[in-house]
Amino acid sequence: MPAVTFTVLKRDRSTGARLGRLTTPHGTIETPVFMPVGTQATVKTMTPEEVAGLGAEIILANTYHLYLRPGADIIREAGGLHRFMHWERPILTDSGGFQVFSLADLREISDEGVTFRSHLDGSIHFLGPAESMAVQEALGSDIAMAFDECVAYPASPEEVAAGVERTSRWAEACLRAHRREDQAVFGIIQGGTIPELRRRSAREITALDFPGYGIGGLSVGEPKELMYSILEELQGYLPENKPRYLMGVGSPDCLIEGVKRGVDMFDCVLPTRIARNGTVMTTYGKLVVRNAAYARDFRPLDPECDCYTCRNYTRAYIRHLLKAEEILGLRLTTIHNLHFLIKLMQRLRQAIAEGRLEEVAADFYERYNSGKI
Amino acid sequence: MPAVTFTVLKRDRSTGARLGRLTTPHGTIETPVFMPVGTQATVKTMTPEEVAGLGAEIILANTYHLYLRPGADIIREAGGLHRFMHWERPILTDSGGFQVFSLADLREISDEGVTFRSHLDGSIHFLGPAESMAVQEALGSDIAMAFDECVAYPASPEEVAAGVERTSRWAEACLRAHRREDQAVFGIIQGGTIPELRRRSAREITALDFPGYGIGGLSVGEPKELMYSILEELQGYLPENKPRYLMGVGSPDCLIEGVKRGVDMFDCVLPTRIARNGTVMTTYGKLVVRNAAYARDFRPLDPECDCYTCRNYTRAYIRHLLKAEEILGLRLTTIHNLHFLIKLMQRLRQAIAEGRLEEVAADFYERYNSGKI
């Protein structure tokens, strides 16, 4: 029996959206799903119980960060990442590839992998498909991602093509290296914003018959419309019966547009990162609660929200906490933002089930863009 | 009916310890009690539900900090400090005096009060007994503290005597200025480490018949034995039927020795502050969980502790969080340390009730000082 199985429960009639169910060794996930990010084996500021309490069914952890600190050995000795961090639901780990290309210095890329300097202490490391698989097996995530090359945006067609070739070779190497039967490996499709290269990458990667597919190399600086058109382009090239994971995407509009274009899984640091900068998402758009305008505003962040933060605290208090650099402020905004996105995904799933996706999406946009904060 | 009432339920036979009950507008407190500190209207890193869940029956908030930020007006408009910070149990506020003398610059002391510069933005402010009472009434704490002068240690007898005189005059001024009937004002006894001046301060302050008495100016750098001897000295000069609050004390040994010398209430930033530096208190002494020695230690912080942290996380994981500067690490060590002190006070209360205080204290010391961490 494969580590994960995916079932499409319903297809939307007027868009590419799908309602699905992904079963993993640590539990079942209703899709489309947003995965909160727990980069360093913790969803920043939150306990696992709080993350689960928001309705999160799966989180993402970062192989690059955990490989460097505390190291894969310690997590293996702890009994794996689930036990180490006290999270019993599914975990997806990325491959480390994206961080090696975006965070580390002194990258030397060869066909075997990448030599890089740690962004923490400057030490030299090597990560390739075999190493990434070994680390992810030590972490014991439910879903591991293949080691890929994410080319920066913009890049020349030659660079993008080279990235596609390397990603395909590394995908095969990952499958050869991978051992754990209680862990699935998803392939990753690259190809930048060049339709022909996207199609080629999709053909080559899906030929390897992974149980799921990541769409990498998007949301890296290109215009949103370009990302949407690539997602449309890809729809015909991805198997209908496998989950599709749009990596690094997490703004409400991109989640909605991704869902409409057949995406089943998303992850992004956006909700937790902007929360720590004092920005929250509300029914009526973004609100920078740090602003002086909210010093005496005794309403909740979002009057239509029923999260712990909005049930118990005012904008004035949260602003005070953020200005005073109190950790509770970061906790409260993080809870609210994650709740906002998880609830949005719940509404999108329900809308697909009821055949009302476009109506629900239009209603969301109308209020979110109204500026009536 | 007075805002607070205090009942001594039992007196220990072999020490000065008392078991008591303090009733306030927001609830009843079993004494001796340790009060967690919520300086800026939040017990650092924690939600009010978490603080209450640890068994805390009262917290302290700082008038100086809240006066400067967000300002008393905002908290008054919010409906008072309880509503502002979503804490429904009792709150004690200090007078701001200690912080004016220890944190602020440019202090000009007159008989009316102190002119000082904010440590936040350099702005000029004036705080005296009337102003302190007005701010504390705006905050709406259950127990307000009289505005006092805490002389630094060491100080000349003349300086200490001047502080005692001023503290007595200001205590009278506080009583004249105070209006709220749902708020008690406790007097504060000064006098440094000079027995004669302590006796004089105790006589003058208790003559004003406050419903409770703070013992200020201790735990400011003097040897512990000197503090203990002052506490012994004071016992005969404090009314038996009023609560006694030793300000700024919170190490386990000082709590135990204070209880033995008749103290009913304590507060201190120690458990929360050392937690954020990666130091925790355990049954077998202090443990610096940041240390490399714990990188692969998969035991809980304290094997005999049943707090949330110790039930669910290992030293290795907490060390990782602290090294990676993850907020969850600060939350977990804070929960543990506050739980440790609150549970210690519960054990001391039970020991007094059972007439076993000295035995329980000796047992605590034997293990805490054993070094068998």
- For residue B118, list chain A residues with Cβ-Cβ distance below 8 A: none
In this complex, do A42 and B328 lie within 8 Å of one another by their Cβ atoms? yes
A34, β-bridge pairs? A266
* The predicted structure's pLDDT at residue B372: 85
Say yes or no to pLDDT of A168 above 80: yes
CA–CA distance, A91 with A24 (Å, rounded to integer): 9
Say if CB A29 and CB A22 are below 8 A apart: yes
Residues pairing with A124 in the sheet: A117
Cα A235–Cα A236–Cα A239 angle in degrees, nearest 5: 85
Residue B106: the pLDDT is: 75
Q: List CB contacts (< 8 A) between B85 and chain A.
A: 317
pLDDT category at A107 given cuts 50, 70, 90 is confident
In this prediction, residue A105 carries a pLDDT of: 82
pLDDT above 90 as % of chain B: 96
What's residue B213's pLDDT?
A: 98
Q: State the pLDDT at residue A60.
A: 98
C-beta atoms of A317 and B84 within 8 A: yes
Top-confidence residue, A106 or B333: B333
What is the spatial distance between Cα A214 and Cα A195, in angstroms, rounded to a whole number?
Answer: 16
Task: Write out the two tokens for B314.
Answer: 């290992």
Q: Are A230 and A198 in contact (CB under 8 A)?
A: yes
Beta bridge mates, B124: B117
Residue A326 touches partner B, C-beta closer than 8 Å: yes
Q: In this model, does residue A288 exceed pLDDT 90?
A: yes
Q: How would residue B107 be classed by pLDDT, with cut points 50, 70 and 90?
A: confident
What value does the mean pLDDT take over residues A319-335? 98
Supply the pLDDT for residue A101: 87
B369: helix, strand or coil? coil
Q: Do B326 and A86 touch (CB under 8 A)?
A: no
Cβ neighbours of residue A216 closer than 8 Å, sequence gap 6 or more:
A98, A148, A150, A167, A188, A189, A190, A247
- The whole-model pTM stands at 0.98
- The answer to whether residue B373 scores a pLDDT higher than 90 is no
- The pLDDT value recorded for residue A225 is 97
Residue A92 exposure: Cα atoms within 13 Å on the Cβ side? 33
**Predicted interface score ipTM higher than 0.90:** yes
pLDDT value of position B158: 97
Amino acid B127: pLDDT: 96
pLDDT of amino acid B251: 97
A312 confidence band (pLDDT: 50, 70, 90):
very high
> What band does A295 get if pLDDT is binned at 50, 70 and 90?
very high
Query: How would residue A90 be classed by pLDDT, with cut points 50, 70 and 90?
Result: very high
Q: Is B140 left (phi over 0), alpha (psi -120 to 50) or beta?
A: left
Interface residue of B118, B328, B331 to substitute, partner A, most A CBs within 10 Å: B328
The model's confidence at residue A104, banded by pLDDT at 50, 70 and 90, is confident
Residue A4 confidence (pLDDT):
98
Beta-carbon contacts of residue B334 (< 8 Å; ≥ 6 apart): B44, B45, B46, B271, B272, B275, B276
Of chain A, the percentage scoring pLDDT greater than 70 comes to 100
Asked about A253 being catalytic, the answer comes back as no
Does residue B209 carry a catalytic annotation? no
3-state secondary structure A41-70: CCCCCCCHHHHHHCCCCCEEECHHHHHHCC
Q: Does B96 show up as a binding residue in the annotation?
A: yes
Please tell me what DSSP assigns to residue A94: -
- Residue B102 pLDDT > 90: no
Q: Which of A64-68, A117-121, B46-50, B171-175 has the lowest mean pLDDT?
A: A117-121
pLDDT at A186 over 80: yes
- State yes or no: pLDDT of A323 exceeds 90: yes
* Per annotation, catalytic residue among B12, B94, B142, B302: B94
Region A54-71 average pLDDT? 98
Planar angle of CA B315, B318, B322, nearest 5 degrees? 135
Mean pLDDT of chain A: 97
Of B40, B77, B323, the CB nearest to A324: B40
Q: Is the pLDDT of residue A74 over 90?
A: yes
Asked if A77's CB is within 8 angstroms of B327's CB, the reply is no
Region A293-305 average pLDDT? 98
Contact flag B312-A41 (C-beta cutoff 8 Å):
no
Tokens linked to A47: 């306990």
- pLDDT at position B146, please? 98
- Give the residue-averaged pLDDT of A5-9: 98
Determine the pLDDT at residue A195: 97
Nearest to A326 among B40, B86, B317 (CB): B40
Give chain B's mean pLDDT.
Answer: 97
Q: What is the model's pLDDT at position A138?
A: 98
Partner-chain residue, chosen from A45, A78, A326, that has the shortest CB–CB distance to B314:
A78
pLDDT at A106 over 80: no
Q: Write out the E strands in A53-203.
A: 59-61, 91-93, 105-109, 114-117, 124-127, 143-145, 184-189
Amino acid at B334: T
State the architecture of B5-267 in CATH terms.
Answer: Alpha-Beta Barrel (3.20)
CB B301 within 8 A of CB B289: yes
Q: What is the tens place of the pLDDT at every residue in B273-287?
A: 999 999 999 999 999
Can you give the residue ranges of every domain in chain A? 5-267, 275-369
Contact A348, A31 (CB under 8 A): no
Q: Is A40 annotated as a binding residue?
A: no
pLDDT(A102) > 90: no
pLDDT band of B105, cuts 50, 70, 90 = confident
